Structure 1
Amino acid sequence: MSLPRAKNGGGWRSAPPPAVALCVSERNRDGKRSAREALQEQRAREAARARRKRTLVVAGGVVAVLGIAAVIGVVVSDQNDNSTDSATGLPAAAPSGAVGKDSLVIPVGAPDAPSTLTIYEDFRCPACDAFEKQFTPTIHSLEDSGQIRTEYHLVTLIDGNLGGSGSLNAANAAACAQDAGKFRAYHDVLYDNQPDEQDDKFADKNTLLTLAEKVPGLKTPTFTACVNNGTHNTWVKKSNTAFGNSGFDATPTILLNGKSIYGQNPALTPDSLKQMVSAANKGKQPAKVTATPS
C-alpha cells in the first residue's frame, strides 16, 4: 500500500505518518514547557539571590552599627575609668611636675640631660626591687652628673595579677611625694622596704605614711591627706592603662633613649649601663645640675 502524497508547489512529498507527526508535536510541547520551567527556575534563583543580598546588606548594617556602638562604649568606658576620679568626678589629678603624654611621666634629673632612661615599674614587683637594688646607685650617679634624666611610669601589674591594692596605693603615695618634691627619696624608701610579693602590705596606707617618716620633711598634713584620699589614684590607673597599650608586658621595662636594654642577653650590669650612656652621649655636653634631685 502506498503512502498518501501531498502536492507541494507542483510537486509531491511524502506526508509523515500520523504517529510520527504526533511524536514531533509532543516533543515541541515538551520543549516549550521545559523552556518555561527553566525560565521560571532562573527567575526564582535570581529572586532568592536578591533576597539574600538584601538580608546581607541589612545584617551588615546592623553589625556595623553594633560595632560602632561597641567601640564608643569601650572609649567611653575607658574615659570613665581613667580620665575622671570615680569618687569626685573630677579629671585625673596628675602629680606636680609630671610630663609627657597625658602627664603620665614622673621625671628625675635635669630636663636637658643628653640621654633619657625610661623605667616602667610596680612597687610590689620583686623583679623591680631586684633591679633597683642593683642599679639605683648607678642611676643616681648618672642623674646627678647630668648624663641622664630618668622618666618613671608607675604600673599596677601585681594588683591585677594577685589582687589587692598595694601597687595602686604605693604609686599614689609616690605621686604625693612628687607633689612635695621628694619622689626620688620616697621611691627608694618604698623599694628598700618592699614586702613579699604575696603580702599586700602597701595596701595599708598607715604603712605608707610610716615609711614617709624616713624621708625628712615629707610627712606633712598635705602629704597625709593625699595618701589617705587617694588623690592620684585615677592618674595611676591611667598610667597603668597606658602601659597596657605600650606593647610592653612585664615590669621592670627599661629603655635607654627609647631602646629596650634590660632582660636581654648579655645581661645589663651597672658597668654596661654606664658604657651605653657614655656611647649615647658621645660628643654631647652633660646637663648642668645645680642641686641633687629629691
Structure 2
Amino acid sequence: MSDNQERKGSARERLQKEREREKARERRRRTVIVAAAVVGVLGLAAVVGLLAANSGKDSGGSQAGPLSAPSGAQGEEQLAIPVGADDAPSTLTVWEDFRCPACAQFENALRGTIHDMVGAGELRVEYHLATIIDGNMGGSGSLRAANAAACAQDAGEFAAYHDVLFANQPPEQDDDFADNARLIELAGQVEGLDTPAFRSCVNEGVHDTWVEKSGLAFTEGGFRGTPTVLLNGESIFPTKGEEQISVANFKKWVEEANEGKEPGTATPAPGAGSSEAP
C-alpha cells in the first residue's frame, strides 16, 4: 500500500473515531439533560407537596378559638363591659382603643366627672374595646391591652385598670402595650389585681377572640374613629350638635337627659382615683 493510501486510511479512521466520540458526548449530554429534568420535576413535586401539606395548617389568618367573653359582659353578643348601676337613667356608650391618643385625652379630661356621675347613680357606662391602632400603626398593643382589661373585668377591676392603662399610655407609635409583662406590671397599681389568675389570663390571651369580635363590631358599625362616645345613643364626641364637649357641657347634657328621672342605685366611684386629670 502506498504512503498516500495509508494516509487516507488513517484519516478515515480518525474521522470515524471522532464521529464515535461525538456520538458518545451527545448521548452523555442527553442523559444529563434528562436526569436534570427528572430532578427538577421531583423537586417541583416536593415543593407542591409541601405547599399542599401546609395549606391545611395555615390559611393566612389565625385559627379562631372559642369566644370567651369576660365575666359580666353584656349587650349584643356580650361585647359591652358595664360600669355603674343598671337602673341609671342615662347610658354612656364609649368605644375606645388603649393605644388611641384621643381616647386618652377624653379620659384624662372627663374621668373624674364620669366617675362622680356613675357613683351618684346618674350615669351608666358601657365600654367597647377597639383595635384600630394595631391596624393603622402595626403591632398588637391594642389587642394585648384590651385582653388584659378583659382579664381585669374577670377580677372585678376593669374600671380601675382601664384608668391605669390610659394614665400610662405610651406614644402612639410605641407598641409598649404589646408586652404582656408591661401590662402585668401596670396591674400592680390596682390593689389585688396582680394575681396568678390574672397573669395567666393575660399571658394566655384568654379573651383575644372576644377582643377581635369587638374590633370587628366597631368596623362593621360604621364608626369614624376612636373615641366614639354616645349619650343615650346620641353622639357627643367631639361635639353634640354645635356644642363642643367639655366638662361643663358634659354635665349639662347628662342633667338635661336625666331631667325628671330618678337616679339609679348609687355605687362606689369606679376607677383609680376620682380627681379630674388636667
TM-score by length of structure 2 reads 0.73
Counterpart CA distance in 2 for 1:114 and 1:163 is 40
Matched, 1:186 2:161: yes
Counterpart CA distance in 2 for 1:261 and 1:129 is 16
Counterpart CA distance in 2 for 1:158 and 1:205 is 17
Return the index of the structure with the highest Cα Rg.
1
Aligned to 1:166: 141
Moved more, 236-245 or 283-292: 283-292
RMSD between aligned residues: 1.3
Aligned to 1:155: 130
User: Out of 218, 226, 240, which is 1:251 matched to?
Assistant: 226
Alignment of 1:99-248 (within 5 A): 99-248=74-223
Aligned to 2:244: 267
Q: Which structure 1 residue ranges, 5 or more long, are not aligned?
A: 1-80
Q: Can you list the C-alpha shifts for 1:188-239, whole angstroms capped at 9, x where unaligned?
A: 0001100000000000000000000000000000000000000000000000
User: Out of 67, 72, 94, which is 1:97 matched to?
Assistant: 72
Q: Which structure 2 residue ranges, 5 or more long, are not aligned?
A: 1-60, 272-278
Counterpart CA distance in 1 for 2:188 and 2:132 is 27
* 8 A contact 2:147–2:208 mirrored in 1: yes
Q: CA deviation at 1:290?
A: 4.3
Moved over 4 A (4+): none
Q: Residue type of the partner of 1:148?
A: L
Aligned to 2:266: 289
Counterpart CA distance in 2 for 1:101 and 1:122 is 19
Aligned to 1:279: 256
Counterpart CA distance in 1 for 2:224 and 2:266 is 34
Q: Residue type of the partner of 1:149?
A: R
SS in 2 for 1:133: helix
Q: Could you say if the C-alpha distance between residues 266 and 176 of structure 1 is closer, same or farther in structure 2, counting changes exceeding 3 Å?
A: same
Counterpart CA distance in 2 for 1:238 and 1:286 is 33
Q: Residue type of the partner of 1:252?
A: P
* 8 A contact 2:132–2:142 mirrored in 1: yes
- In the alignment of these two chains, the number of paired residues is 209
Counterpart CA distance in 2 for 1:275 and 1:142 is 12
Aligned to 2:14: none
Q: CA deviation at 1:247?
A: 1.6
* 8 A contact 2:177–2:183 mirrored in 1: yes
Q: Could you say if the C-alpha distance between residues 291 and 136 of structure 1 is closer, same or farther in structure 2, counting changes exceeding 3 Å?
A: closer
Counterpart CA distance in 2 for 1:291 and 1:267 is 29
TM-score by length of structure 1 reads 0.69
Larger RCO, structures 1/2 (Cα 8 Å, 6+ apart): 2
* 8 A contact 2:121–2:267 mirrored in 1: no
Counterpart CA distance in 1 for 2:158 and 2:206 is 15
Moved more, 283-292 or 172-181: 283-292
Counterpart CA distance in 2 for 1:190 and 1:108 is 16
